[in-house]
Structure 1
Amino acid sequence: MTAQHTDLQRIMTALRQSGLTVEAVEDGALVQRGETRVALFTEADLQGGVIVRLHLDLDLYVEEDSLPDILMGMNLMNQGLDYGALNLDPVEPENADDDTPLTFAVLGRSVLWLRDLNAAELERLSEHLARFEAEVTEAVERTLHGGGGMRA
């Protein structure tokens, strides 16, 4: 078992003990908070500690002709986020030809460095995870239901 896998297992165990639903996926974990599922990935930091990457799929998709407006809105939204950022990832269409417009998924992303995996650092991860999910979700919902910022 690699150190990265061991770190991930320890983090998953700690999150489960804090009351979250956690399931292993390929090279990471899915953490469920209510209706929201955050993907969590770990890697060892060469200088010590563990880097934890969080990905929140918002089920929002944007076509490339809307990018100028979307990027401006995302930039404004990102200025108000403390625990993460909104990013665009290209979606690979199954049956696309050269004329098919590109589509991008809107994702929330965050990175947290843990000095080690002691109880205090794992508690800090749990709090960061909760704040990241709440902050990104609230920002997107406020924008979508507030009549402005982000249009697809």
Structure 2
Amino acid sequence: MTASQTELQRIVAALQNSGLTVESVEDGALIQQGETRVALFAERDHQGGVIVRLHLDLDLYVEEDSLPDILMGINLLNQGLDYGALNLDPVESDDEDEEDEPATFAVLGRAVLWLPDLGPGELERLREHLGRFEAEITEAVERTLHGSKGMSA
């Protein structure tokens, strides 16, 4: 590793060397985990170490009028998660005529991990966290969507 490599480049190289399928994109990387793709972003922490942010797009969308029930359900789901959380992000509309339409929100899995350094032990911890994050979020959502009660609280 050269000193000029960024934190993200070092993380991408380490994950690729560990056997994961990783593709660099604009300001982050996409990691193929089975059927899903986790976006990874890294930045140097001004107090030392590296902050790694993970995003998992679940391809689930919620209309504004369903928010109260969905928020309660997401809150309940988040209480059982150890490696991430479900969040709602507003979806930007490209159509200017849809101003009167209800807002739509995407359901995303998110996690943040602080690494004190990019040594082998910390990179292995990141790899483990990444796998657990993806599995936990996916399992929680699938269990809810396919369970007997659906996503209502």
Give yes or no for TM over 0.5: yes
Gaps of 5+ in 1: none
Where structure 2 has 5 or more consecutive residues not aligned to the other structure, the ranges are none
The corresponding residue for 2:35 is 35
C-alpha distance in 1 between matches for 2:66 and 2:4: 39
Contact (CA 8 Å) 1:45, 1:51: kept in 2 or not? Answer: yes
Alpha-carbon distance in 1 for matches of 2:148, 2:74 = 15
Match of 1:138 in 2: 139
Q: Does 1:108 align with 2:132?
A: no
Q: Give the number of equivalent residue pairs.
A: 149
What is aligned with 1:73? 73
Partner of 2:95: 95
Percent identity over the alignment is 77
Alpha-carbon RMSD across the aligned residues, in angstroms, is: 1.5
- Displacement of 1:149 after TM fit? 4.6
The TM-score normalised by the length of structure 2 is 0.94
Over 6 Å off, 4+ runs:
none
SS at match of 1:98: helix
Matching residue's letter, 2:37? R
2:69 partner amino acid: D
> d(CA) in 1 for partners of 2:103 and 2:89?
10
- Rounded Cα–Cα distance in structure 2 between residues aligned with 1:5 and 1:132: 26
TM-score under structure 1 length normalisation: 0.94
Q: Which amino acid aligns with 2:88?
A: L
* 2:74 counterpart SS class: helix
Q: Distance in 2 between matches of 1:20 and 1:70?
A: 33
SS of residue paired to 1:48: coil
